[in-house]
Chain A
Amino acid sequence: MAEASRNRKYRIVHYLNQFFGGVGGEEKADCKPFTIQGPQGPGRLLEKLFREENADVEIVATVVCGDSYFAENQESVLREWIPAIRGHRPDLVVAGPAFNAGRYGMACGAICSSLEPLGIPAVTAMYKENPGVDQYRKTALIVESANTVSGMEDAARKMVRLGIKRLREEKIEFPKAEGCFEQGIRRNYFHAEPAYRRAIDMLLRKIDGEPFETEYPIPFFDRVEPQPALAGMKGVTIALVTSGGIVPTGNPDHIESSSASKYGKYPLEGLTTADAGTHQSAHGGYDTTYVNADPNRVLPIDVIRDLEKEMGFKTHPWYYATVGNGTSVDNAQKFAKEIAVELIRDGVQAVILTST
């Protein structure tokens, strides 16, 4: 540990809103950000608790900003004040606690999430229903606090303990153990028991009606409202998208056979069919023999051309392809969002998506 040779205090910057920063209540929520030298309000409690834990820290600066001002000017505030915070050379940044104050929680979450990628550890705290939790739990460590200021000391103590670990550069493997909200991220670990034994034990409990904990809670899938139907096909532009991995022969963009990190956009112009000479499948999750022999079996160019003539619609001259094998749902979502933006820009009115 570098502690032995440390001959200076740890430097902390604290972020507070207008209320805890001593400016005023809701009527001052539009106050512009400014800096106070040293600790302010709850910062003094934090310093005291750090001392009780034998950590040699100093809150060198407190940044105060009105909740509404932050909410309405987030981008410019971050652009100006993240560098300002860095200018104090902090070893740790503490934001809040924000309890159930929504705008305050969002501001704390945004600040912590901006600092982490810069290598500056940050800690904040808020109540479970604060919208900042859902928004920032994956990118910031958020201690769980009570609903109101009566939980100040408890929250501050947890922030201090977590803060000390981060100052010592300890890896926080499981935030829940530190009093934080779960980040909703799956992380592997080695259990003492092999899985087959855990499965049998879990079954015996379930049979006996004893409580057990599933290792993977089934998630809830959100639904999207169906888009209105097309009034007819004449003159409509439709686009083909596929997750079956049909790419031009040679896979020029090197789309991975599994866990794809990208998608491709390829021309349909002038093609009346797909064949083994022009297209192939990059997908590793199924027997591609049949599709490589006739790629129309996943990307139906031949039939689309026939139907175009019969029904009077147009096919967008570009198709999009990725590999849907072991590709994380997040990536698939990201690709689809980007593809959708382009399709809308290009006047596409409907999509036929083919999967294996």
Chain B
Amino acid sequence: MSYARPHAGVQPVTHRWRKIPVSDLGFSSPTRLENGKLFIHIDELIGLLQSDPNIRDVRLAIARPGESVRIIPVKDVIEPRLSLIPDYPVFPGVLSAWDPDANGILSGEIVSLSGMVVTTVGSIVGFQEGLIDMSGPGARYSLFSRKHHLVLDVTVKEGMERHDHEKTLRMAGLKASDYIAGSVMKKLPSTDIRETLVNPEYPGPPAFPRRAGGNGKPRIAYLYMLQSQGLLHDTYYCGVDVKTMLPRRIVPTEVLFGAIVSGNCVSACDKNTTYHHQNNPILLELLRRHGTDWDFVGCVITNENVTLGDKQQSSTLAAELIASFSPDGVIISKEGFGNPDADLMMNCSKIEAHGIKTVLLTDEFAGQAGASQSLVDTHPKADAIVSTGNANEVIVLRPMEKVIGDDRVITELAGGSSKCRLPDGSIAIELQALIGSTNQLGFEGISSRYK
């Protein structure tokens, strides 16, 4: 087996992405895909998951779009994928050791199931986990209401420390996704959707002034901020805790392979689930029109640490890395809220100081009446902001016929309160509590404006 090593500046890394549509889920043996319906062998999957001694019990459930079902409290949502590249597995570094820089990212094929996801729930580890409603007023706020869910309701053994509890659930979701991908995608059906994504070359061709020439395409880069504040607020790149990293360049299509995995199960409205990372629409759009409408010159991931010193260091290095691509402009996406607003403003101001234009994606916390200031930090250079909505706005959710998980926790979720249950069984809760509702990678159409 030889390792084709892409030469710098010559062969851009190229990935072909095949998507197999799934239109229904069911339980039956063996695990297989038949005419668009995915069947799961319950005992086999549960047996696999319970080989982790930390797991005391797993229950599986299915939720379909349009059903009167509430899934709560959600830890993560994952899309099953299979890499067809030898030695480059999905979730590299997590389920097996892997170094992204040892041999370079290899070109090849990846397959995903589209239309279904693996969703993990379990007793609450901390506040701020969230819910998904498959119908009713809450459904329009998140793309997850249009997916078929295989829900893993995981109970861990007694007395587990919180960090271990979170890790156990995280691994269970990833293992289940891998199990499905491995079982089902050995024999690939002919009905699938394919696209080819070509990454930017690195180092790329030299920049030339756009205005003098006038016919150059705009050079665009992307700064991808990842939550890294500690327990339940963590993200992993190739298995490494992002809070221990410095900002670095990634090959954009690495996200397809699950290179970025979420350990962030708080801040339900604006935390990026693993699914969100796998399908990052900013990255995908920049790739799809790369070479035609613009030159996508590169992507940098950076963290959101909890000390001022780390924030200053990360923002300085991220800005310098971005500047090394000579972009005309940069999209910056944030994760979470509150002190990450400070990271966002530092990243923005330092990149602008290099003479590079920025656009920021952020949600708002403007209070339930919308009368409060939306961000905790600002900078005069942050003059181009796309808002993904005010997460404090209250929504009334109808009672659902079925709850997968445990909805007694609803009053403890961020965005809930002791007063949120209404007499008819509805709950009045802030958007904060709905998974993905104000996602800052820009999946959804929600926005906010002055009334």
Contacts and interface: CB of A to CB of B under 8 A. Distances in A.
> Do A and B interact directly, with beta carbons closer than 8 Å?
yes
Interface of A: 138, 173-176, 182-200, 202-204, 206-208, 212, 214-216, 218-219, 221, 254, 256-259, 261, 284-289, 325-326, 328-331
Interface stretch (B53-61, B80-88, B101-109, B436-444): B436-444
A258 B127 contact: yes
Given A195-B442, A219-B373, 16 more contacts: A185-B369, A190-B446, A192-B445, A195-B386, A199-B442, A200-B285, A202-B386, A218-B378, A219-B378, A256-B414, A257-B127, A258-B127, A259-B417, A285-B128, A326-B365, A326-B391
Interface in B414-450: 414-418, 430-432, 440-450
A125 to B, nearest CB: 18
A185 B414 contact: no
B366 A186 contact: yes
Interface stretch (B17-25, B151-159, B228-236, B308-316): B228-236
B392 interface: yes
Interface in B326-367: 328-331, 337-338, 357-359, 361-362, 364-367
A287 B390 contact: no
A196 B451 contact: no
Contacts of B52: none
A189 B388 contact: no
Contact of A329 (B162, B330, B367, B418): B367
Contact of B451 (A174, A257, A326, A330): A174
A285 to B, nearest CB: 6
Interface residues of B, number: 81
Given A186-B451, A215-B385, A204 B218 contact: yes
Contact of B387 (A216, A258, A326, A329): A216
Contacts of A138: 371
Contact of A196 (B267, B378, B443): B443
Contacts of A203: 220, 329-331, 357-359, 384
Contacts of B447: 188-191, 195, 198, 215
Given A186-B374, A196-B361, A287-B229, A254 B418 contact: yes
B370 A258 contact: no
Contact of B338 (A184, A188, A208, A326): A326
Contacts of A202: 359, 384, 386
A191 B373 CA distance: 22
A190 B285 CA distance: 21
B412 interface: yes
From A186, A204, A329, residue with most partner B Cβ within 10 Å? A186
A202 B432 CA distance: 26
From B364, B391, B417, residue with most partner A Cβ within 10 Å? B417
Contacts of A285: 128, 266-267, 338
Given A199-B359, A219-B373, A326-B337, A256 B417 contact: yes
A182 B371 CA distance: 12
B372 interface: yes
A186 B390 contact: yes
18 contacts: A184-B450, A185-B366, A186-B448, A188-B446, A189-B449, A193-B445, A196-B281, A199-B386, A200-B359, A202-B386, A203-B220, A207-B218, A216-B364, A216-B375, A259-B392, A285-B128, A287-B229, A331-B372
B415 A185 contact: no
Nearest to B431: A188
From B140, B441, B445, B446, residue with most partner A Cβ within 10 Å? B445
Nearest to A137: B451
B15 to A, nearest CB: 20
